[in-house]
Structure formats: C-alpha cells, structure tokens
Amino acid sequence: MSTDADQQSTKGAYVTGGQGFERDTAYIETRITTDGADGYPVEPGRYRLVAARACPWAHRSIIVRRLLGLEGVISQGITGPTHDRRSWTFDLDPGGVDPVLGYERLQQAYLARFPDYPKGITVPALVEVSSGQVVTNDFPQMTLDLSTQWREHHRAGAPDLWPEALREEMEPVMRRIYTEVNNGVYRCGFAGSQEAYEAAYDRLFTALDWLEERLADRRFLMGDAITEADVRLYTTLVRFDAVYHGHFKCNRTKLTEMPVLWAYARDLFQTPGFGDTTDFAHIKAHYYVVHEDINPTGIVPKGPDLSGWLTPHGREALGGSPFGDGTPPGPVAAGEEVDPAHTPLG
C-alpha cells in the first residue's frame, strides 16, 4: 500500500478517505519578477525551465515560453516521460544527466534549496542555474509571470496572453476550466468509489458541453485571438482521446465526437507553439506506465490514429487570428524539436 508521499510523487495529489480526488495545490510560491521582490529578479540566462512533455501542467509552460519567444532567455530541460516515486529524471539526456544543471533527478534541485522537502517533486519547475536550486513550481502563476514580468524580453510580435482588459472575464473562465476540466479528468481517473467517479464524470461533461456552446460562435475562448485560457484548455483536450477517454474512464464521448471542441483543438494544434510542442508518445507512456494502480500491466495502447489532427478545421470562418495583430513564432529552437515519430506533424 502506498503512502501519502508515494501518492504525491506519482499523482501530485492525494486520494482522501472520502474516496474523492483532491489535488495538493500547496506549491513553492516564490516568484521571479522584474523588481526581484522575492530575491529572484528577471535576468536572461539565470533560470532553467525543467518540464516534461508528458505532463499537462508542464506543457503549459513549454507552450507559453515558445509563443513569447523566450527560448534564448530561459533555457529548457526536458525530463523523460516516466518517473519513479522519488522524482522526474533526465533520462533523455546523454548519461542521464541534465547538461546545464548536472543533475540526474529534478529532486536534486528541490533538495538543494529545501533539504527536508516533504512533498512530491513536480514539473514544471524553474531552477536557478548558478545555485542549482528550485525557485518555483507554482505552474499557474509561472505562465502568467512569463507573460507579465518577462515582457521586456518577449519576441517582436509576441501575443498578449494575459491582456489586462480581459482579465476580469478570463479569471472565472480559467477557474472553471481548471476545476471542472483540467482537474476534472483526474477526479474521474483517481476516484476511489463509484459514487465519486460518477459525480466527477457528470461535472466534467457538463463543463465540456458549456465549452462546446461557448466556442460555437467565437474562435477562441476570449474572442478573436489566443490567450492564456486557450493554452490551459488545450493541454487537456490534446490528451483527451489518447489518455483520458479510456485510461481515466472519461468515456461519454471522445473529443473527436464533440464537433466544436474537436475543430477548436485542431485549430490550436495547427498553430505554431501548440502542435509542435505536443509529444503523443511521451503522453501515453507517462499515464499508462506510471499509473500502475490504474493500469497494472503497463501496456501502452497503439492508438488512437493521430492523422485527424491535421485535417481542416474550418474555424477561420469565425474570424480572428491566433496571434491577433502579432505574428507566429519562428521554427522550433534547435534541439527542442519533438521527435517526428511522436507527432503527426513529423
């Protein structure tokens, strides 16, 4: 029987005695800001983003970093898609060691700052290169800070993903997406009773129906251009048929059977920064191998067929443009490409 610490390491959350899923959201809240109020000022080259392509929460930070053109300012380390109860590991790198931090495990960065760190080791994490210490793993705040605190270093034509004029409307939209969709699929997958599962299932599909309606007459969640809200929804949608529909029993309908959301997801997938950061092989390996309690055989399914992600979506008819008055990012930085065998874009 696994301990609470084991539950955190493998799921980033607890399953409570009530048999419902509760995510542990007590993150390291240190921020990297322009004024350096927390002791970590914005400074090119000072920090390394450690992320996993498999993880939806980390995928957000990979997308936002690319959309904003911060590749030359914040370096990126990618862990393997699976991990043990201790930590995510750098098994994709030569010798299994991150070439910048010199670490085999992300856990080493956490312990460098907090020698008795008691919680699960999560991605994404921003690590100070010189000290090798984790700065923050607060993923919701992390991407907002990339948009606001690092603005001086954004590429020309970068989108405004957190526009001030829309924040009041965006906040409840993003809150509902997080509680009902991003986290909702996990409530289904890790439910400890039939009652908890069915309640989670109903909440999830109520929210997906709401999104079908919201996106029927607008190209993106907040209107004519992408924002942080779209990034947050995309990372769940792109994993839906590959993982959540079967593995997490979110099986009322597949994404491909929800016409508006399927077209919307393809629109984003075909936008630079989204599909070219999506690694389906990593996604499937993570969920089906790491979650031994749900999939004890460790068998990773061959499907689904990914070719549909490249089919026309027709969303241009709604007007707007992904980058508004800006421009798309250029080619993926050398060495950061997704393996062509892991994506239909290859």
CATH number for the domain that contains residue 212: 1.20.1050.10
pLDDT at 2: 28
CB-side neighbour CA atoms (13 Å) of 25: 8
pLDDT at 18: 55
Q: Say how many domains are in the chain.
A: 2
Residues 176, 318: one domain?
A: yes
Residues 184, 145: one domain?
A: no
- Residue where a domain terminates, one of 94, 121, 153: 153
Residues 149, 83: one domain?
A: yes
What is the span of the domain harbouring residue 285? 165-342
Residues 315, 175: one domain?
A: yes
CB-side neighbour CA atoms (13 Å) of 175: 6
At 303, list the tokens: 């499907």
Does any domain span residue 260? Answer: yes
Task: Please state the φ and ψ torsions of residue 243, each to the nearest 5 degrees.
Answer: -135, -55
Residues 42, 146: one domain?
A: yes
Q: What is the CATH number of the domain that holds 138?
A: 3.40.30.10
pLDDT at 292: 93
Specify whether the CB–CB gap between 151 and 56 falls below 8 A.
Answer: no
**Digitized pLDDT (tens) for each residue of the chain, 346 residues in all:** 222 333 334 444 444 445 677 777 789 999 999 999 999 999 999 999 999 999 999 999 999 999 999 999 999 999 999 998 889 999 999 999 999 999 999 999 999 999 999 999 999 999 999 999 999 999 999 999 999 999 999 999 999 999 999 999 999 999 999 999 999 999 999 999 999 999 999 999 999 999 999 999 999 999 999 999 999 999 999 999 999 999 999 999 999 999 999 999 999 999 999 999 999 999 999 999 999 999 999 999 999 999 999 999 999 999 999 999 999 999 999 999 999 999 999 8
Does any domain span residue 160? Answer: no
Give dist(CA 216, CA 244) in Å, integer: 23
Does any domain span residue 159? Answer: no
Does any domain span residue 307? Answer: yes
Q: Which residues are catalytic?
A: 55, 186
CB-side neighbour CA atoms (13 Å) of 141: 15
CB-side neighbour CA atoms (13 Å) of 78: 19
pLDDT at 21: 73
Name 268's Cβ contacts closer than 8 Å, sequence gap at least 6.
226, 230, 234, 237, 274, 275, 322
Does any domain span residue 217? Answer: yes
Residues 171, 149: one domain?
A: no
pLDDT at 19: 67
